[in-house]
Amino acid sequence: MTVFSDLFGQDIPEIVLEDAATWMAMLDSDSCNAADQLAFARWLDEDLRHRLAFEELSEVWARLKTLADVEPLMERGNIVRLQSAASPGAESNAAAAVSGGSGWSAIAATVIIALGVAMHLVFSVAGEELATEVGESRHIVLNDGSMLEMNARTTMQVVIDDSRREVQMSRGEAVFHVASDSRPFVVRTAMGTIAALGTTFNVEVDNELLEVSVIEGQVSVMSNESPLPLTEYDGDVDIRLARSVAHLGAGEWLEVSGSTQRQRVLGTEEFRKRLSWRSGVVSFEEQPLQAVVEEMRRYNHVSIHVADSALSGLKISGEFKTGDTRDFLDRLRDEYGIVVDDRHVDWIVLRSR
């Protein structure tokens, strides 16, 4: 592995990385034609590693804003199966341009690789680590004037420099009040990326789910997962990476789970309940007991466990104070007839009566 391949944390052969760089150079060339783009699309679909390599390079170029084809590659969300090539001969000629390499493509590929290394060094600079513990919430003002409201058990890293405002959010929940600025404000998570300019939105993320709610303004959400095929074709010569992008306005909510997305408009009351944690209250409407217990663990050091599999699906509704475990347990017992085994102060077991 070379320095270039080490940048991405993926087991991608060096030849694939070099091919990806050559394809990028070809796509930006004035000599790129329909056959070239069709051959490129097939190359993408041959191996997932092809796509991974090309996407990483695309991100570098998008940040540099020097390759006209890159940003549109990330925009289209409507996926259709790639059509057949016009002629096998045309495709083979285009493929040969990659395998054999012309002067311009070899030089351009070298430049892309060099810039990739340089950009990696720039963007891997450590940012400010922000975190909240169990039961802790924080209000933080960033140096650009943006404000964060962090819920309990939330971890993120913030980098703000002359060209960008970027948050890497590992887990938890936070409301982002984004100050107006020419620099983009981006929140990256394991499930997707949220981009906004001068707006207010809420992000909740764990290992399997991303939820975004917009309070004011607009945001764009790009999922990190895309189902096959990996490319889309508009019937002419326009080949683009298939990336799912959702645009949300005020009052809209989006859930991303793997390659699945759900989007809808929230009513005022539902919106209030979803953000009630900001006032020290969590609200549930017909939520399974297991999900309610997991949410309450965020605010208390007490370990609460549901002993019965049948009980875990019991629907719970109501508002509970985030820091009052006793009230929560008493209401489960009194309103739902759940047996609360609290013989051990920090280890609570819930059972069916």
282-324 pLDDT per residue, tens:
999 899 999 999 899 889 888 888 888 889 899 999 999 998 8
- The first and second tokens of residue 254, run together, are 């989006």
From edge to edge, which strands make up the β-sheet containing 347-351? 303-306, 347-351, 339-344
257 with 319, same domain? no
Q: Report pLDDT for 108.
A: 53
| Domain contains 52 | yes
111 & 138 share domain: no
Q: How buried is residue 309: exposed, middle or buried, by Cβ count under 10 Å (0-12/13-18/19+)?
A: exposed
pTM: 0.60
Residues 196 and 286 in one domain: no
Cis link prior to 229 (omega < 30° from 0)? yes
Question: Is the domain of 77 the same as that of 107?
Answer: yes
Res. 186 pLDDT band, cuts 50 70 90: very high
**Confidence at residue 110, expressed as pLDDT on a 0 to 100 scale:** 55
pLDDT of 38 reads: 77
pLDDT at position 237 is 47
Q: Is residue 246 part of a domain?
A: yes
Q: Which domain holds residue 61?
A: 3-123
Euclidean distance between CA atoms 214 and 271, whole angstroms: 9
Q: At 340, phi and psi to the nearest 5?
A: -105, 110
Q: Answer whether residue 177 is part of any domain.
A: yes
Place of tokens 């590992």: 170
Which residues is 344 bridged to in the sheet?
347
Q: Are 146 and 256 found together in one domain? A: yes
- Structural domain tally of the chain? 3
Residues 104 and 9 in one domain: yes
pLDDT value at residue 310 = 82
Which band of pLDDT confidence, cut at 50, 70 and 90, is reported for residue 94? very low
Same-domain check for residues 99 and 151: no
Count other C-beta atoms under 10 Å from residue 140's C-beta. 15
Residue 275 lies in a domain: no
CA distance 29 to 344: 70
Q: What is the CATH number of the domain that holds 301?
A: 3.55.50.30
Examine the fold and report which residue of 123, 142, 173 is the final residue of a domain before the chain moves on: 123
DSSP state string for 21-71? HHHHHHHTSTT--HHHHHHHHHHHHH-HHHHHHHHHHHHHHHHHT--TTHH
What confidence tier does 228 reach under pLDDT thresholds 50, 70, 90? Answer: very low
The verdict on 112 and 168 lying in the same domain is no
How many C-beta atoms surround the C-beta of residue 340 within 10 A? Answer: 15
Element (H, E) at 248: strand 245-248
> Do residues 254 and 145 share a domain?
yes
Do 137 and 113 share a structural domain? Answer: no
180: in domain: yes
Pick the last residue of a domain from 96, 123, 150. 123
CATH number at residue 161: 2.60.120.1440
Contact 177, 201 (CB under 8 A): no
What confidence tier does 225 reach under pLDDT thresholds 50, 70, 90? low
Whether pLDDT at 232 is above 50: no
C-alpha distances (whole Å) from 115 to each of 7, 49, 110, 111, 237 are: 12, 20, 9, 6, 28
**pLDDT > 60? residue 45:** yes
Structure tokens at 22: 């050559």
Note whether residue 274 is domain-resident: no
Residue 160 covered by a domain: yes
Predicted confidence band of residue 52 (pLDDT cuts 50, 70, 90): confident
- 134 and 265 part of one domain: yes
Q: Read off the tokens for 305.
A: 């466990």
Check if the beta carbon of residue 35 is closer than 8 Å to that of residue 91.
Answer: yes
pLDDT at 203 over 90: yes
Would the CA dihedral through 206, 212, 216, 217 be positive or negative? positive
Is 294 inside a domain boundary?
A: yes
Shared domain check, 265 and 181: yes
Q: Which of 123, 151, 186 is the last residue of a domain?
A: 123
pLDDT mean over 39-58: 75
Instruction: Give me the pLDDT at residue 111, please.
Output: 55
Instruction: State residue 59's pLDDT score.
Output: 59
Nearest residue to 78 (alpha-carbon basis) of 195, 232, 229:
232
